[in-house]
Amino acid sequence: MKCFFIEEKRRTPDLLLAAASELVDDIRDGERQVRHIQFWVPSLPGADAGRLLRRIASLPGASRTEAGALTLYKLPLDELERWIRMLASKRADRRKIR
């Protein structure tokens, strides 16, 4: 299990992509049997959950389960990896345009 906390003022899309990509790469290099990623976050009303969490919950095979003060997100590792690569590619394309 891997856990980390990033101070709110330091949270950026590039940092998220780098951390998520590193997590997927680390899993792929080690535990071949991992098929799903799951994580808990404090429960927020749907409208307050933020674009990122809503997008993660909408990925194919993903689920969102509320359990009191926490919400469990679970998604297939393959879908997370596909989404991360797509986002990284889009961000790289935007940088080329600038």
Q: Which helix (H) or strand (E) holds 77?
A: helix 77-97
Please name which of 6, 2, 79, 7 lies closest in space to residue 39, comparing C-alpha atoms.
2
Specify the DSSP class assigned to residue 91: H
Q: Across the 98 residues of the chain, what is the mean pLDDT of every consecutive 10-residue run?
A: 72 82 88 86 72 89 93 94 90 76
**pLDDT for position 1:** 64
**pLDDT for position 58:** 94
Q: Long-range CB contacts (< 8 A, 24+ apart) of 61-67? A: 67/43
**pLDDT for position 35:** 92
